[in-house]
Structure 1
Amino acid sequence: MLEQMALFVSGQEGYHTYRIPSLLVTEKGTVLAFCEARKNGGGDAGDIDLALRRSFDHGITWEPYRIIADLGPDTVGNPCAVQDRDTGTIWLLLCRNAEDGHEKDILAGRATREVLVMKSVDDGETWSEPKDITSSVKLPEWTWYATGPCHAVQLKSGRLIVPCNHAVLQPEEERSGPYTAHVIYSDDHGESWQLGGIIGENTNECTLAELADGTVYMNMRSYHGRNRRAVATSKDGGLTWSDLVFDETLVEPVCQASVLSDGQGGLLFSNPASTSRERLTVQSSRDGGETWAILQELHPGPAAYSDLALAGDGAVLCLYECGEQRPYERITLARFSLRKEIHAE
């Protein structure tokens, strides 16, 4: 049975728009739903804070929402969380820029973009102050930078690995590009972070999962045309990556998406399965992303960004942007069974 609940509604609680959903289910089963709370408008820059709601019954009921990061008038966002299963610490990767640091100015080298990390040791009840890790994970010639946005992953090896993207400054042209996906990682339980492998150009907002054989599968927003997702794989925990391939069956409108290991040897994938930002759909693969089948259509109308997680009771959770007239009217949490019949389109 499909259950849906609006967790963040644009215009409520003193914020103009809520965007950029991110999910994490902790080892204790607590569901954490993050998003950007955009104070004065719907754009990607301005006074943007980070909001959180928690659920203790697998996403059925929720605590009131609260702001866990507010850097004054600056932009803080692109949440990407992971929990270290050995220590229990939750690490939340973020990005920051000045209130007037629009993406076009960052790409031109006129404004800066920083990489931050916060942590919680009590299942998301309290959070540390953001720590700047930019110098460890961003090269000097990079201008644009984004973590996720979605969730990060802890590999079987214990490595924490975070999907990211960047753009390189072309100083003579006062521009940057193309967008390019990469990862950052920690091998010391989140105490320090470093740059991992860089993937093919003309890709950005990316999402990853570890396959049963230890291969890291990366799925990326693509600027290569034909409205299809880009894919790469790594055999060494994200240090090096294969050449890009393009999944013709995963249609996209050039938008963010989410991929998740389903805990049964397969993959789940969510995105607006259309050439427009509409029809938020979850698909399933039993062969490492070689083929896909539709598992659940969540919203036939306008929809955009999403993130997937598995609840402690086995339900699939998808936190996604949607609305009736435009995709950014609310952020909704969907719950449904993984055991429902999968049907081909």
Structure 2
Amino acid sequence: MLSSTLLFVLGSLAVFYPIDAKWRFAPYVEREDVLWRQHDPGDVNEYRIPIIGPTADGHLVAISEARKLGGGDSGNKFLAMLRSDDGVQWSSATKFIFSDLSDVTDGMNLGEMLTDMETGSMFIIYSHCAHACNVSTTYIIRSDDNGLSWKNAVNVTNVICNVTKTFDPGPGLGLQLKHHPRHKGRLIFCGHGGVGSEIVACIYSNDHGETWKGGMALPGIPFHSDEGRGLFEPNELQMIELKDGRVLFTIRNEKDYNDAGPIFASSDDGCETISMMSIRFPQGLPDPVCAAGMLYHEEHDGLLLHSNAYSTRQRINMTVSWSYDEGQTWNNSDHLQVWPGPSAYSCLTAIPGKPNYVGLLYENGIYFRYERITYALINLQPTWEED
């Protein structure tokens, strides 16, 4: 029989936390910092592909492509990095942790970043010559000191080539599984490639990045066809893990199949396979064919956040949207306009030690969408209320 004390405690919980109460959010941008501008630092022509994520020791690391001479996807590049101790201040100077050779015509392309929270190791995956070569080369670099130094690149092209000959990872964050019943701790990188129509593909590691295996593939339909608009052609992506262990993707809808918006799909076996039956097209997330960001915030009852250029026609209007049901529905009133003007790629991150905040790193400008890369500190402003 339950004691009177225990009954009192349970009764008190029922009073203050009713079963139909839920977290609700009213996010706002608390502060913004421009991390990179064209030509500064390093006399770089243009900074592209914003990626941001936590280290195992509680810092944030931001990386980007520093395009040396021009703004195109091919050409010479540095890999630029900044660190933040608290997710608020960015006081350190930009560090260039990788540089193409000066005479390459189709250099490095980011890419994804991933932290193994079990070992503390960090990984960055990038491709080389994904536009001018029949077979691109894919590399992974690794840091065992929270991004302070990086080891020589490891070539993992042979793992990719069993699915696609060219490959561009991400762009965004890789994933370490925390909830999957069979694959807890698995590291996953995904990207897109192919000739003609695109194909989304993944690789994974079960030994903390020592070895990598080829995983799922989601091809365009019809495969190896590039005949115009309206085809099913998955492209750049971001992935998160839901609390039941499924991996959910938001995928760039390159040919506007079905509508102008992202493709959602999921894998339930740790990205070894993916079912066409999992594909859906969420309503309430307009998109102008551009890479998006996504974050699953477990500390707030499974809040799912999505960032993109919130427009059907132009890369403008950087917006963060949120869903209370793991992305099944997106209410048009549940979004935050971060920047109304030109904007493009973005990446969302949780901030260690700050559960009521998230960070957004995104491309934007006043006249041109790639003028700068800006970090927005977003206060979720959660409230606990009854339906």
> Shared fold (TM-score greater than 0.5)?
yes
SS in 2 for 1:85: coil
Partner of 1:76: 108
Q: How does 1:8-157 map to 2 (within 5 A)?
A: 8-12=36-40, 13-73=42-102, 74=104, 75-97=107-129, 103=131, 105-106=132-133, 109=134, 112-139=135-162, 142-156=164-178, 157=184
Partner Cα distance (2:262, 2:168) in 1? 18
Q: How does 1:187-266 map to 2 (within 5 A)?
A: 187-201=206-220, 202-225=233-256, 226-243=259-276, 244-263=279-298, 264=300, 265-266=302-303
Asked if 1 retains the 8 angstrom alpha-carbon contact of 2:56 and 2:116, the reply is no
The one-letter amino acid paired with 2:138 is V
User: How far did residue 122 of structure 1 move?
Assistant: 0.8
Asked if 2 retains the 8 angstrom alpha-carbon contact of 1:50 and 1:77, the reply is no
Number of aligned residues: 324
Report the RMSD for the aligned CA atoms in angstroms: 1.7
Identity of aligned residues (%): 32
Which ranges in structure 2 are unaligned for 5 or more consecutive residues?
A: 1-27, 179-183, 221-232
Asked if 2 retains the 8 angstrom alpha-carbon contact of 1:273 and 1:279, the reply is yes
- Who wins on radius of gyration, i.e. which is larger? 2
Asked if 1 retains the 8 angstrom alpha-carbon contact of 2:111 and 2:168, the reply is no
Q: TM-score, normalised on structure 2?
A: 0.80
Partner Cα distance (2:90, 2:80) in 1? 17
Q: In structure 2, do the counterparts of structure 1 residues 273 and 83 end up closer, same or farther at CA, with 3 Å as the change threshold? A: same
Q: TM-score, normalised on structure 1?
A: 0.90
Asked if 1 retains the 8 angstrom alpha-carbon contact of 2:159 and 2:203, the reply is no
Residue 336, structure 1, aligned to residue 348, structure 2: no
SS in 1 for 2:185: coil
After TM superposition, the runs of 4+ consecutive aligned structure 1 residues lying more than 4 A away are none
User: How far did residue 62 of structure 1 move?
Assistant: 2.8
Asked if 1 retains the 8 angstrom alpha-carbon contact of 2:198 and 2:219, the reply is no
Asked if 2 retains the 8 angstrom alpha-carbon contact of 1:303 and 1:322, the reply is yes
Residue 278, structure 1, aligned to residue 310, structure 2: no
SS in 1 for 2:235: strand
User: How far did residue 232 of structure 1 move?
Assistant: 0.8
Asked if 2 retains the 8 angstrom alpha-carbon contact of 1:295 and 1:341, the reply is no
User: How far did residue 114 of structure 1 move?
Assistant: 0.9
Partner of 2:343: 303
Partner Cα distance (1:321, 1:62) in 2? 20
